[in-house]
Chain A
Amino acid sequence: MTITEPGTQSAEDNTNAVPTPTDNLNDHKPNGFGRMLRKEDPRLVRGRGQFCDDVQVPGMLHLAILRSPMAHARIVSIDKSAAEAHPKVKAVVTGADLAEHNLAWMPTLSNDVQAVLATDKVRFQHQEVAFVVAEDRYSARDALELIDVEYEWLDPVIDVRQALAPDAPVIRDDLEGKTDNHCFDWEAGSKDDTEAVFADARENGIVVTEDIVYPRVHPAPMETCGCVADLDPVSGKLTLWSTTQAPHAHRTVYALVAGLPEHKIRIIAPDIGGGFGNKVPIYPGYVCSIVASLLIGKPVKWMEDRTENLVSTGFARDYIMRGEIAATKEGKIRAIRTEVLADHGAFNGTAAPVKYPAGFFGVFTGSYDIEAAYAHMSAVYTNKAPGGVAYACSFRITEAVYLVERMVDVLAYDLEMDPAELRLQNFIQPEQFPYESKTGWVYDSGDYEPTMRKALDMAGYAELRAEQEEKRSRGELMGIGISFFTEAVGAGPRKDMDILGLGMADGCELRVHPTGKAVVRLSVKTQGQGHETTFAQIIAQEIGIPPDDIDVVHGDTDNTPFGLGTYGSRSTPVSGAAAALVARKVRDKAQIIASGMLEASVADLEYEAGTFRVKGDPEQSVTIQDIAMRAHGAGDLPEGIEGGLEAQICYNPENLTYPFGAYICVVDVDPGTAEVKVRRFVAVDDCGTQINPMIVEGQVHGGLADGVGMALMEMISFDEEGNCLAGSLMDYLIPTAMEVPDWETGHTVTPSPHHPIGAKGIGESATVGSPPAIVNAVVDALKPYGIRHADMPLTPSRVWEAMQGNHTPPI
């Protein structure tokens, strides 16, 4: 494999080895940061990955779940006798059975409760009603059809706008005293200050308002959710192989819910085929499997099928937003305001730090220096699947960025200003960092204009506008869309951030073996992000042990320190910092041992790339490998120094990190069929220090493709009865290589001042930043039709409807 873009390596990359175009990427493996192929890939591309469904345990049984055909119905009766009579069935369990063990309900990540199996009524279509355990998967599935459930239809609440209507059926009558479908209210910023600016702008400037929907979408990982639960009847120890992005958090939650002592729970997250937030929550299926193993005394496997994954597991987004901007007539943005109606489904399963029920939506003021901002949100229950997970959204920043970047374009439209110019003239300036936003977020570092200018240059912005003008005169529809986003990732400082009381700090352990090889143990869990490579590179950069000599252990709670897991782009900001600091701790000890070996004082030694030298006498040196042997060897160690070369740490981040980027999308729209073709996409990202630029680009490529999906095709829709219309990948579309252009990526580097290596998260930047760029491009293409806004997903039908004047079509 050759790399075609060595030019993207700039001096700021701290790259030790810059390959030339003809080099094999791994011929010059960096001993630290830089491009190298992923260590995990040989295993994955050769089919040697071990995923949950690959786990086979002797005597293992199979579990299948019976789900509700209706969105809202009372359970009148369940007859399971025929299923129990199936020769291969070992157990049939209903909600009533679970209730006897006080296990019918479980807490969600947002301090709500969710039914493990429905007892009183079902609250969304495909809700879990009963489970069967059988000798094989086929028999378990066959036996589901033998369970006879009688339901009594109840009117469902499907249209979120009707959820708070006085006569709306009450979904959560399980909650004491609940008489409506209100879930929570949330606000940020100053209502009065913001209204004052709006009042002034109405008189002397301009106010723009737009209704914007971010539809319900699904993370749709390739691997569905599942587990193997093995509760050893003798030792009482539960081993749970599980598709989880947060093994430690899950262990503690199981301990709290099921009352199992925490040391008797081992969670193993094997290879994971994509998470995107889908594998953060604890699903009823996991709990059912544990219960089944407990009841039967045998290991039990449960793997969702594709439909179950799409219709019942954590969805994302589903925000109905009214956005408003107050500005001067010259285009100085003064205030931003929004009113949001959030659909949380039947149970509030949002995964977000406890004090942030709306996630980090509060960063909706974007990259702009403004006078005032205010948001108010009402979240409601509906008869839809629960969730509201962090689907590659950095805790709702996706919605926030979409809102502000769409609204800035709405303002540009009304002011007849160029959207690039409008953004440039409103940016927070470099000297204003750290910048405290009007909703209380402290942006750590940023230098927005160079990033924006780089994107404009790469795109050839002026030429594109000229081409567009010429095409418009011929009746052709071409659009150019821009988005400039700032994210807040790396949750987070334990003083404000916890999930169910667990602080969001991460542990890390590093152990150097006598021969100078090492093992690093992490709490985070890769789902494709390349942790086995990135974390080895971080350690390598600090202590000079080559990445290939470092084993990265993760995803097994018995073998790794505590930490909150991988989502919200937090692994590099939190665990990446922990890895750098633990390596520095080891290096400090190594330096003391080196001082003994070289008979020099510690202060007289200098370190470079794995070697300690005596200052002024560079011949006198020892390597980290020499030191490792000495640390474990028979010789004397400096006074007070224990043998061994290892350290551990728990890193509590001081702040979030604030990556940003400028994205430009070019689309062509067929005026006759309304089909959208994404012709070009330029993405300039700034995630601070880049550890492995190839992995950074991979993350960006994936996120951009994801953005094309959301902007153009993804939506979970429901009919009036609450039937989910997205039950397969033929109905819920995700993009293919045919819908995406060749990505044109670039970067700038503005390190985070508080992160030990200056790195910021990159995992979700592109998912967050790309949908508004694409939608802005399509809306720009439709300018000749007088269109200022159209809602996602911009399928041909919805674009055509927008051209007819319906910007929120029926489906």
Chain B
Amino acid sequence: MQVPAPFEYERATSVDHAIALMERLGDEARLVAGGHSLIPMMKLRLATPEYLIDINDLASELGYIRVEGDEVRIGAMTRHRELLESNDLAAVLPIFRDAEKVIADPVVRNRGTLGGSLCQADPSEDLSAVCDAIGASCVIRGRSGERVVSMHDFHRGPYETAVADGEMLTEVRVPIRPHSGSAYHKVERRAGDWAVASAGAAVTMDGDVIADGRVGLCAVGPNLTNIEPISAALSGQAPSEDLYATVGQIAADNATPSTDTRGTAAYKTHLAKELTIRSLRKAVARATGQE
């Protein structure tokens, strides 16, 4: 049995309560949502917070998927499993279901949350790449109120986000546009493993050409949100295998993976290209009603 260092425990009953607790307990306190990133680190004593503020009682306040008008709003406490199972979400943003099918395993998905995933900001976290590809923005709340930041601004680097001390992520917002499609591809060594590499793509069509396209990469570098040259290369172009290959190459050129037990840097770079191509191909097929 791996045992964490001693800590104290509080349960928040509302977002305001959680924020008040964070203020009172200071920077030695950590929120715990699903706990599937934080608790393993505590058991290995890589994280030794003095206080845990459990926000699972906020599951009703912050656990929702609302498709309203031209926007989807997803609460930070929405569990992986809910993201996987929501038909409403899959209808407008199929990339979520693609990704959730290959995130962890059912045990982890039953507890792990969207908010925890984004705030953990592990470079291998799939939902960060997803949210990046679909141009999501994040709602952060603190004592002085709420602010909304783009994914690009949200991600400060590995394990670092725009969420400041005393603040928490409450919601993720994604614009929905007609004639859009999205898809996600991941290579893992085994079911339930973190990505060797993965790529998500989202496109919006204007007639026969791509009006807008984005790609999010995962596990191939510290900060690969918003790869501008990719969006530039896609914009106004008719979809074609050549275009995908060109964009795939840009993805590979931007990737800065390192060699580890999941794979060599050369292989991961290759995957950045291959999976970008596959995701784009599928996103376009979905946007054009071919799937």
Whole-angstrom CA separation of A170 from B23 in the bound complex: 56
Given contacts A137-B3, A305-B1, A307-B2, contact A810 B187 (CB under 8 A): no
Given contacts A675-B187, A810-B264, contact A733 B193 (CB under 8 A): yes
A736 x B192 contact (CB < 8 A): yes
* A interface, CB within 8 angstroms of B: 53, 137-138, 141-142, 145, 303, 305-307, 672-675, 712-713, 715, 717, 725-726, 728, 730-731, 733, 735-736, 738-739, 795-797, 800-801, 804, 809-811
* Top-5 shortest CB links A-B: A797-B263, A738-B191, A797-B267, A305-B2, A800-B267
Complex interface: chain A residues within 8 A of B271 (CB): 673
Whole-angstrom CA separation of A801 from B190 in the bound complex: 18
Whole-angstrom CA separation of A180 from B112 in the bound complex: 51
Q: Is B126 interfacial (CB-CB < 8 Å)?
A: no
A307 x B189 contact (CB < 8 A): no
Complex interface: chain B residues within 8 A of A800 (CB): 263, 267, 270
A723 to chain B, nearest CB (A): 12
Complex interface: chain A residues within 8 A of B263 (CB): 795-797, 800, 811
Given contacts A141-B3, A672-B278, contact A717 B190 (CB under 8 A): no
Complex interface: chain B residues within 8 A of A145 (CB): 5, 45
Residue contacts A-B, CB under 8 angstroms, 30 given: A53-B1, A141-B3, A142-B5, A305-B1, A307-B2, A307-B44, A672-B274, A713-B190, A717-B261, A725-B261, A730-B193, A731-B261, A733-B189, A733-B190, A735-B190, A736-B105, A736-B192, A738-B190, A738-B192, A795-B189, A795-B262, A795-B263, A797-B196, A797-B263, A797-B264, A797-B267, A797-B268, A801-B264, A811-B259, A811-B260
**Chain B residue nearest to A735 in the complex (CB):** B190
A673 to chain B, nearest CB (A): 5
Whole-angstrom CA separation of A718 from B5 in the bound complex: 27
The residue in B2, B191, B263, B268 that gathers the most chain A C-beta atoms within 10 A of its C-beta is B263
* B interface, CB within 8 angstroms of A: 1-3, 5-6, 44-45, 105, 187, 189-194, 196, 259-264, 266-268, 270-271, 274-275, 278
Complex interface: chain B residues within 8 A of A797 (CB): 196, 262-264, 267-268
B241 to chain A, nearest CB (A): 13
A280 to chain B, nearest CB (A): 23
Q: What does DSSP make chain B's interface, helix, strand, loop or mixed? A: loop
B140 to chain A, nearest CB (A): 29
Complex interface: chain A residues within 8 A of B194 (CB): 730
B275 x A673 contact (CB < 8 A): yes
A736 x B264 contact (CB < 8 A): no
B6 x A142 contact (CB < 8 A): yes
Q: What does DSSP make chain A's interface, helix, strand, loop or mixed? A: loop
B6 x A138 contact (CB < 8 A): yes
Complex interface: chain A residues within 8 A of B45 (CB): 145
Known: A717-B261, A726-B261, A739-B190. 17 other contacts (CB 8 A): A137-B3, A138-B3, A145-B45, A303-B1, A306-B2, A672-B278, A673-B187, A725-B260, A730-B194, A733-B189, A736-B105, A795-B262, A797-B263, A797-B267, A800-B270, A801-B266, A811-B264
With beta carbons under 8 angstroms apart, the residue of B187, B190, B267 that contacts A736 is: B190
The residue in B193, B194, B260, B267 that gathers the most chain A C-beta atoms within 10 A of its C-beta is B267
A88 to chain B, nearest CB (A): 12
Whole-angstrom CA separation of A606 from B266 in the bound complex: 75
A811 to chain B, nearest CB (A): 6
A489 to chain B, nearest CB (A): 30
Complex interface: chain B residues within 8 A of A307 (CB): 2, 44
Whole-angstrom CA separation of A141 from B271 in the bound complex: 42
Complex interface: chain B residues within 8 A of A712 (CB): 189-190
Whole-angstrom CA separation of A137 from B43 in the bound complex: 13
**Chain B residue nearest to A224 in the complex (CB):** B1
Complex interface: chain A residues within 8 A of B191 (CB): 736, 738-739
Whole-angstrom CA separation of A303 from B6 in the bound complex: 20
B56 to chain A, nearest CB (A): 23
Complex interface: chain B residues within 8 A of A675 (CB): 187
Complex interface: chain B residues within 8 A of A796 (CB): 187, 189, 196, 263, 267
Complex interface: chain A residues within 8 A of B267 (CB): 674, 796-797, 800-801
**Chain B residue nearest to A716 in the complex (CB):** B261
Whole-angstrom CA separation of A537 from B45 in the bound complex: 49
Whole-angstrom CA separation of A12 from B264 in the bound complex: 52
Complex interface: chain B residues within 8 A of A809 (CB): 264
Complex interface: chain A residues within 8 A of B105 (CB): 736
Whole-angstrom CA separation of A232 from B46 in the bound complex: 39
A709 to chain B, nearest CB (A): 9
Complex interface: chain B residues within 8 A of A804 (CB): 266
B160 to chain A, nearest CB (A): 22
